């Protein structure tokens, strides 16, 4: 057959084996009309099912904490929040009363409405929350229908590739790791809790394959390429041998990386760089530590706000932040304040979606306009700063006025905490995320009133080049090596150093080895990349000299097109690295 299907790379590595198929669990529920007298008993059945499901999840959470750790156990907090969502529960009760229908039917219909709404949203993270609601809905429906969970399908006796329509975090964590060679699912994305757990468990995974469960059977052999996102059904002998060789290469590379992660991110001529990681969820900390990152260069706090209809409390945020800070000691954690807008929106009914999300009411603009929300977050960050390794960073600052307004609000919150005798770091470093061209152009002014800079190239590039990177018609114009972009970055770094403050980069550009080489030459102090890219970038840093990188960027800044920049830098690196070039740049 040798059929090759592209999905979403969720957890790196290559798995080869026979299929263990887990079918899609269906709940055929008939509509049953009830009398007025039957309504209270049906509502009581709902409450009992919710209580039983909550107990089940708490027990499972304890089991996960015992087998993995507290971070991964916290994944199930999202499931517990669904059970406590009074809006959802009241919707079900209203449906029972108004339509006089059985509780199973009412619950299924309301849950379906929530799932469908979340699944249609453009934000990938919110789409993944649909899976959380779906998992909880299945558990509640099992209780209402008095059905046992289909655990036998997870009882895998021999080594196999798990193929499923979906795997809940509970299912994923329940898999017998010693027998799992990889897994693939019809649905899901990289930000799903399942994908995070897969990475923590070290299981190669590809998700979002649409109808794969309909294309395979238990006797099939499949290859799961979790690094590139491919699944190959019944590969030919030649393809099979090619991937077995890739597996051997990965094993050899891991042995090299094992020693590499203990070494500093330092060039051959002893120029030291801080190499940190970007995270969205506390559950990613084990992966960050495993890769040897020297801190968190970007903690995206907005993910505490998404996929829910209420706002996170101060204590919720404090608990998450202090947990991350403790886990990362003694390395620093740069906490970016709320960056809602763009492609990330709250589900809260009082906060409408912006008509021009990337250029409109977002990030620091939203926070300054909603001090009721912003101050709660600032309180949580300041309280967590007692760990002495937290830095605070404001996003999308366009000029000195916004920075001063944000700092003034921070001063007010500090004063409130002092009156309440709450402990916090009085000298918490406060930095600016440079992602707007006006901020780059006035970075000399901003540097005088900032403790550090972090360059967010994802937005800086699209704003500078007028390119919506999500629009396939113009995405080809999104070029990190555009001479205009490089000149802006160099200007920011130079202005920061004139004021003796450090400057890092937390955009995706930092994870591209060719770009990282040019950034080295500009004098960047810190690079923060996805956890999976830490060791690859470190290998590049340790393979070159700082003096060579400076020569390369001086040459690159004289070019007029991004193609000239890339060709010049590639040629320069090939001369330096020789036979190692392909391994380092194409890794």
Element (H, E) at 228: none
pLDDT number for residue 1: 55
pLDDT number for residue 356: 39
CA distance 45 to 36: 15
CB 14 within 8 A of CB 227: yes
CA distance 532 to 534: 6
pLDDT number for residue 321: 96
The alpha-helical segments, DSSP class H, found in 348-398 are 363-369, 371-384
CB 161 within 8 A of CB 143: no
pLDDT number for residue 150: 46
CB 246 within 8 A of CB 14: yes
Least confident of 183-187, 439-443, 474-478: 474-478
pLDDT tens digit string along 165-179?
877 766 666 677 788
| Number of CB atoms found within 10 A of residue 72's CB | 24
pLDDT tens digit string along 433-466?
999 999 999 999 999 999 999 999 988 998 999 9
pLDDT exceeds 80 at position 212: yes
Q: Which domains does the chain have, with CATH numbers?
A: 3-21+159-168+179-252 (3.50.30.10), 36-145 (1.10.274.10), 276-541 (3.20.20.60)
Strand-by-strand arrangement of the 160-164 sheet: 3-6, 230-233, 221-225, 14-22, 160-164, 180-185, 205-207, 8-11
pLDDT exceeds 70 at position 25: no
The alpha-helical segments, DSSP class H, found in 436-586 are 437-441, 443-447, 457-465, 483-498, 513-522, 534-543, 546-556, 562-577, 581-585
Strand partners, 503: 453
pLDDT number for residue 167: 76
Active site residues: 193, 506
Q: Kindly give the pairing relationship between strand 205-207 and strand 430-434.
A: unpaired
CB 353 within 8 A of CB 344: no
pTM given for the model? 0.67
**DSSP, res 266:** B
Per DSSP, the three-state class of 526 is strand
Question: Confidence class of residue 315 from pLDDT cuts 50, 70 and 90?
Answer: very high
CA distance 566 to 480: 10
Question: Confidence class of residue 347 from pLDDT cuts 50, 70 and 90?
Answer: very low
**Per the structure block, which two tokens stand in for 349?**
């009914």
Q: In the chain, what is the straight-line distance between the N-terminal and C-terminal CA atoms, in Å?
A: 29
Which distant-in-sequence residues (6+ apart) come within 8 Å of 182 by Cβ? Answer: 13, 14, 15, 16, 17, 161, 162, 203, 204, 205, 206, 224, 226
Please state at what angle helix 562-577 crosses helix 513-522, rounded to 10 degrees: 90
CA nearest to 202, candidates 177, 179, 171:
177
CA distance 268 to 133: 51
Cis status of the peptide bond prior to 330, with omega within 30 of 0: yes
pLDDT exceeds 50 at position 553: yes
CB 297 within 8 A of CB 313: no
Per DSSP, the three-state class of 503 is strand
CA distance 380 to 194: 28
CB 81 within 8 A of CB 310: no
Per DSSP, the three-state class of 10 is strand
**Per the structure block, which two tokens stand in for 376?**
């709660």
Per DSSP, the three-state class of 470 is coil
pLDDT number for residue 151: 46
């Amino acid at each position: 057959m040798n059929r090759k299907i592209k999905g979403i790379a969720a957890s790196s590595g290559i798995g080869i084996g026979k299929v263990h198929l887990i079918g899609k669990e269906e709940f055929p529920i008939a509509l049953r009309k009830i009398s007025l007298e039957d309504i209270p008993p049906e509502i009581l059945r709902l409450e009992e099912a919710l209580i039983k499901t909550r107990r089940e999840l708490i027990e499972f959470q304890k089991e996960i904490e015992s087998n993995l750790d507290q971070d991964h156990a916290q994944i199930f907090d999202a499931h517990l929040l669904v059970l406590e969502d009074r809006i959802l529960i009241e919707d079900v009760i209203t449906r029972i009363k108004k339509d006089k229908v059985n509780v199973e039917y009412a619950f299924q219909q309301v849950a379906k409405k929530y799932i469908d709404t979340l699944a249609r949203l453009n934000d990938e993270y919110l789409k993944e929350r649909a899976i959380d609601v779906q998992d909880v809905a299945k558990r509640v429906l099992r209780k209402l229908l008095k059905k046992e969970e289909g655990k036998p399908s997870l009882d895998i006796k021999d080594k196999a590739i798990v193929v499923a329509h979906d795997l809940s975090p509970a299912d994923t964590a329940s898999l017998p790791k010693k027998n799992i060679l990889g897994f693939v699912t019809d649905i899901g994305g990289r930000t799903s809790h399942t994908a995070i757990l897969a990475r923590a468990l070290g299981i190669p995974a590809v998700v979002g394959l649409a109808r794969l469960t309909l294309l395979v059977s238990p006797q099939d052999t499949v290859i799961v390429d979790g690094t590139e996102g491919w699944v190959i059904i019944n590969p030919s002998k030649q393809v099979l041998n090619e991937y077995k060789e890739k597996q051997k290469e990965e094993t050899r590379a891991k042995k090299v990386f094992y020693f590499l992660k203990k070494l500093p991110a330092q060039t051959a001529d002893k120029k030291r760089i801080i190499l940190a990681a970007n995270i969205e969820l506390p559950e990613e900390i084990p992966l960050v530590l495993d890769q040897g990152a020297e801190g968190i260069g970007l903690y995206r706090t907005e993910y505490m706000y998404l996929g829910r209809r209420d706002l996170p409390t101060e204590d919720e945020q404090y608990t998450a932040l202090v947990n991350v800070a403790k886990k990362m000691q003694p390395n620093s954690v740069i906490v970016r304040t709320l960056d809602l807008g763009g492609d990330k929106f709250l589900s809260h009914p009082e906060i409408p979606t912006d008509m021009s999300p990337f250029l409109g009411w977002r990030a620091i603009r939203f926070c300054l306009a909603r001090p009721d929300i912003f101050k709660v977050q600032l309180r949580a960050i300041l309280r967590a700063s007692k760990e002495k390794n937290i830095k605070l960073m404001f996003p999308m600052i366009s000029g000195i006025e916004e920075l001063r307004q944000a700092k003034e609000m921070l001063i007010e919150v500090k004063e409130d905490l002092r009156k309440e005798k709450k402990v916090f770091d009085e000298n918490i470093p406060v930095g600016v995320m440079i992602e707007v061209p006006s901020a780059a152009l006035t970075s000399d002014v901003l540097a005088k009133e900032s403790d550090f800079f972090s360059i967010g190239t994802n937005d800086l590039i699209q704003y500078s080049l007028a390119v919506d990177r999500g629009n396939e018609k113009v995405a080809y114009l999104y070029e990190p090596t555009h001479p205009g972009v490089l000149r802006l970055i160099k200007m920011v770094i130079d202005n920061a150093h004139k004021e003796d403050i450090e400057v890092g980069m937390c955009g995706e550009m930092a994870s591209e080895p060719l770009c990282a080489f040019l950034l080295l030459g500009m004098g960047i102090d810190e690079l923060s990349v996805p956890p999976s890219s830490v060791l690859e970038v470190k290998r590049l840093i340790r393979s070159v000299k700082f003096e060579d990188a400076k020569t390369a960027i001086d040459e690159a800044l004289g070019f007029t097109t991004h193609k000239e920049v890339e060709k010049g830098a590639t040629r320069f690196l090939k001369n330096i690295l020789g036979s190692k070039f392909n391994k380092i740049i194409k890794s």
